[in-house]
Structure 1
Amino acid sequence: MKVIPPPPGSAALTLDGVGYATGGRTLLRGVGLDVRPGETAGLVGPNGSGKTTLLRCVYGTLRPTAGTIRLDDTDLLALGARARAQRVAGVPQESPAEFELTVREIVAMGRSPHKRFWEPSDSGDTALVDEALARLGVAELADRLFPSLSGGERQRALVARALVQRPELLILDEPTNHLDIRYQLEILGLIRTLGCTSLLALHDLNLAAYHCDRIHVLKDGGIVASGTPAEVLTSELLADVYGVDADVSVHPVTGAPAITYLPPGLRSVS
């Protein structure tokens, strides 16, 4: 019987001067950020700020036109697809629904970077898949066809696939998309327990404030602020980056910043 491998641990992610241009448009410009080993880092910003483009550059579906991306001392841009997938797992914002595979088969695909071509699954792989299905609350869906799932169910299955991949770095683009409140909280809570470094794009700033160790703010393709949630999520920044008026207080239970958005025409009293 194959022994289930231990979690591979975490690694530091470093972006330096990352840019991406296509079709005469510059979508990212000089992006630099650090994510420390084991840290859960949030990437926030308005629509069109470059969050998805940046995440795609990190997990390899796009190649930056400038800058470097390193995982510890490894140049990620120099790795082949299989070697990269052994260390980095990505969960995209929109899940393709055309896979005529079961949920179990989709989740098991997370083991493919660690196996030789056509190497069959073994008992260790099966145990990892069973564990991920249970942790993401989709065990009862294991034999369902992926296209038959709701958007939220598909999202949970894709996070389970990434978990099975045993990455050092986990990249998630809007992992709470399509999820109800319970699973938003459960998935973000789970991410913090995985032991790997995580970089995730979020629209909900209150979720980011509570679940992220540090936050990086994108505007017009560049980083305009980085730091702890309390350092970054201020009324002034929200007005500048999002064009909204908001009060930012400290939540009496969690101690995290709590953001209350004000209707247009009302001025913040903070």
Structure 2
Amino acid sequence: MTVIAAQALELALEGVRYETEGHTLLHGVDLTARPGETVGVVGPNGSGKTTLLRCVYGTLRPTAGRVLLDGADAGALTVKDRARRVAVVPQEASGTFGLTVREVVAMGRSPHKRFWEQDGPDDVRRVAEALETVGAGAFAARRFDELSGGERQRALVARALVQDPGLLALDEPTNHLDIRYQLEILGLVRALPATGLLVLHDLNLAAAFCDRLYVLDGGRVVASGPPAGVLTEELLAEVYGVRTRIGVHPDTGAPNIVYLHSAGATRPRPPGTRTGG
């Protein structure tokens, strides 16, 4: 199946800070994603991952610092110009009530058309290809709001594909997906010519599919680099508060994390054991 072609762009965050209601959620974050790279943003809940992603695709404006797309200040772009460069897969979709899956996916063509312009044969072809690519062709005629969480996620990835972006920004793209589609969606993102910026909770998936990782904690970058250099037992204990054993995956060569227990917790008993009394 053919996937949508795009020219990858370079993303750079320079000292991005974001404050709201007296709280600082991002503290001068620097981040780079080179053309064609797949870069992961990881960290515990509340570390600023989604806030960072929203600053990248424009629903939030940084309090300080800049987001650069191929060297151009993203804050100076119109909404439509930015949407031609950056496509997003959010955790939740809005503005889709009553629409079919095919109609939701077709919304991704809007940045490339005039307001009154109807879908042409090329738009129809791109939508059909994207639906088949993510395994959503079978339910293209169903209403989006009637889908399961995993089906919705696949449809949102398809919508991003037809947007033909230079940068694909995904917030937990494997959320609600079973293992097969987790692997297929991340494999697809990695194979695209577009640059990928992914927020992920699953560190083993991040290690397997990302070229480089940025670890956020309290709105600050505390580590960055290739997964093998970033995902250490010491860092995971400090940032996540868990004990781990990290080996090498026998097939991919990526770091493979085995979680033991919380760094401050009592070691769990094996099944079937009993305490005295």
TM-score bucket of the superposed structures, by smaller chain: over 0.9
What CA distance in whole angstroms lies between the structure 2 residues aligned with 1:87 and 1:161?
Answer: 14
Aligned to 1:22: 20
What CA distance in whole angstroms lies between the structure 2 residues aligned with 1:66 and 1:145?
Answer: 41
Aligned to 2:136: 138
CA apart distance, 1:95: 2.9
Aligned to 1:59: 57
Aligned to 2:145: 147
Q: 2:36·2:194 contact (CA, 8 Å) conserved in 1?
A: yes
Give the counterpart letter for 2:196 in structure 1: S
- Where does the alignment leave 5 or more consecutive residues of structure 1 unmatched? none
1:170 alignment partner, SS class: strand
Aligned to 1:171: 169
Aligned to 2:220: 222
Matched, 1:183 2:181: yes
Percent of residue pairs bearing the same amino acid type: 65
- The TM-score normalised by the length of structure 2 is 0.92
Alignment map for 1:44-83 (pairs within 5 Å): 44-83=42-81
Give the counterpart letter for 2:42 in structure 1: V
User: Hey, which bits of structure 1, 4+ residues long, moved more than 4 A?
Assistant: none
What CA distance in whole angstroms lies between the structure 1 residues aligned with 2:96 and 2:159?
Answer: 16
Aligned to 2:198: 200
Post-superposition CA distance 1:154-199 (Å, at most 9, x none): 0100000000000000000000001111110110000011110010
Q: 1:44·1:203 contact (CA, 8 Å) conserved in 2?
A: yes
What CA distance in whole angstroms lies between the structure 1 residues aligned with 2:87 and 2:28?
Answer: 24
1:77 alignment partner, SS class: helix
1:167 alignment partner, SS class: coil
Cα 1:6/1:174, change in 2 over 3 Å: closer
Q: How many residues align?
A: 264
Post-superposition CA distance 1:123-164 (Å, at most 9, x none): 000110010000010001111001110011001000000000
**Correspondent of 2:37 among 36, 39, 62:** 39
Structure number with bigger Rg: 2
CA apart distance, 1:7: 2.1
2:242 alignment partner, SS class: coil
What CA distance in whole angstroms lies between the structure 2 residues aligned with 1:242 and 1:170?
Answer: 27
Root mean square deviation of aligned Cα: 1.6
CA apart distance, 1:55: 0.2
- The TM-score normalised by the length of structure 1 is 0.95
